[in-house]
Amino acid sequence: MKFNKLTSAILLSASVLALASCGEEDDKVDEVVTGCGGVATATAMKDMLNGKEVCKLSGVINEDITLTSDKYWALEGVVKVGDDNKTSTQEKDTTIIIEAGTTVVAVSGQDVLVVSRDAQIQAVGTPADPITFTHWDDVKLGDNFVEAKGLWGGLVISGYGVSNQGVNPEGEGNSGFYAGTNNADDSGTLKYVVVKYSGQKIGELNELNGIAFQAVGSATEVDYVQVHMSLDDGVEFFGGAVNAKHLVLTGNDDDSLDATHGFQGKLQYVYIEQDASGDRGIEINSEEDDGSMPTEISMPQTDVKIANLTVIAKSTNEDGDAVKFRARAMATLVNAYITSNGTKKDCLEGGSEAVVTATATVVSNCTANLSKGAVTYTDGEVEGTDMNTTWTGNEVVVSGVTAVDASITDAFFDAAQFTGAVGSTDWTSGWTVGL
């Protein structure tokens, strides 16, 4: 081919157009460099997000990694930490560390972070610099972002704890196997962590929640955690015995808090504000996921202890009761305040052979404050609609009911002697969203 000035000009123009076209490609998938942020398995994406470099995580991660706050970390598909190859020894050999102030972003509904049984997560934020899991557009658009549920998958943590479904049941959202024989298993730490706009309904009884705790053990630390606007449950506990304090569950669909498959945990300071489109504030189940009851009792039975609980039911759905105890579930409520904002659903609803102990618990403004069904309520005090309540921020003060020392119920609980999740000091302030 003979080159002249006209030919050169045409080729130059074509090159400029090609470069411009590349620049217009979706900056969320255009990567150019392997090895990002000190993580060999991460890929640097071409364009920055709000002035920060973006490192993409994908596939299975079998080495210890640290996600730093000076970058954004993007999930691509199902990202698994650990390959679950220690099922016989139930050991941990991979750790993901997430620094305070770090933001992990997702692009699609298929994006999920899974911490496998043989791995740990150490995600420790602070009130001033919480760790955030959210969608790309939330970060990119800032104040112009329109909140929506189900924009990405969620966070799944699996452990070697005990499930009444046996060893190696398949996890939610095709997240792999979970469960074992050690309810004292240690899956790491979640502290000052916020998960937003997650949740996916993959199939019947197969969904991704904001956070799924799959047979996670009691040596795991969960404190100051929020799930906001999940398309499915806010948090769900599948067996295991992990304990938690300072949970904030706001604007979620389905149930804000779900416990099943023999969960044995203790929860204190739980604030739930249910979305109008959601179902229950809390659902506690021990048998099948659909609430059915087999002839033989599945062991261990779910046995949940909750102290200092606030549930504000807003659901307009048929299944929108504030708290539901399904077949054979066992539960203890201490210093709880459960109310409806006028939707007129049941505050407490029971299933066959469920056993509930309620102490210093207040229910109000529901169609039926106690819809007992076959539930056995024992040893408790459940007060009704004649209670005089006043709100100061997120603190509720109930006249006529004396809160008890929660630590008497279980040594895990602080000696918090007030009704509801929040006392005179508002621990939700500064790090949560949507309140």
Interval 250-257 mean pLDDT = 92
Q: What is the DSSP string of 119-132?
A: EEEEEE--SSS-EE
34, pLDDT greater than 70? no
Least confident of 54-63, 350-359, 376-385: 376-385
410, pLDDT greater than 90? yes
Helix (H, G, I), strand (E, B) or coil at 337: strand
Query: How far is 327 from 350, CA to CA, in rounded Å?
Result: 8
Bridge partners, residue 79, by sequence:
113
Query: How far is 16 from 74, CA to CA, in rounded Å?
Result: 30
219, pLDDT greater than 90? yes
210, pLDDT greater than 80? yes
Question: Would you say 280 and 324 are in contact if contact means Cβ atoms under 8 Å apart?
Answer: yes
Query: How far is 255 from 271, CA to CA, in rounded Å?
Result: 13
33, pLDDT greater than 70? no
Element (H, E) at 32: strand 31-36
118-144, pLDDT tens digit by residue?
A: 999 999 999 999 999 999 999 999 999
Report which residue type is found at 372.
K
379, pLDDT greater than 50? no
Q: What percent of the chain has pLDDT over 70?
A: 81
377, pLDDT greater than 70? no
pLDDT at residue 289, rounded to an integer? 61
The CA angle 26-29-34, to the nearest 5 degrees, is 140
Query: How far is 193 from 370, CA to CA, in rounded Å?
Result: 34
Closest by Cα among 280, 282, 307, 295 to 417:
307
Under the banding of pLDDT at 50, 70 and 90, the label for residue 36 is very high
Under the banding of pLDDT at 50, 70 and 90, the label for residue 256 is very high
Closest by Cα among 220, 225, 210 to 256:
210
Cβ–Cβ contacts within 10 Å for residue 218, how many?
20
Under the banding of pLDDT at 50, 70 and 90, the label for residue 357 is confident
378, pLDDT greater than 70? no
308-340, pLDDT tens digit by residue?
A: 999 988 877 777 788 888 888 899 999 998 887
Q: What is the DSSP string of 190-254?
A: EEEEEEES--EEEETTEEE-SEEEES--TTSEEEEEEEES-SS-SEEEESS---EEEEEEES-SS
Under the banding of pLDDT at 50, 70 and 90, the label for residue 288 is low
- Asked if the peptide bond before residue 294 counts as cis, ω within 30 degrees of 0, the response is no
396, pLDDT greater than 90? no
Question: Would you say 361 and 381 are in contact if contact means Cβ atoms under 8 Å apart?
Answer: yes
Under the banding of pLDDT at 50, 70 and 90, the label for residue 393 is low
Under the banding of pLDDT at 50, 70 and 90, the label for residue 395 is low
102, pLDDT greater than 90? yes
Query: How far is 295 from 277, CA to CA, in rounded Å?
Result: 34
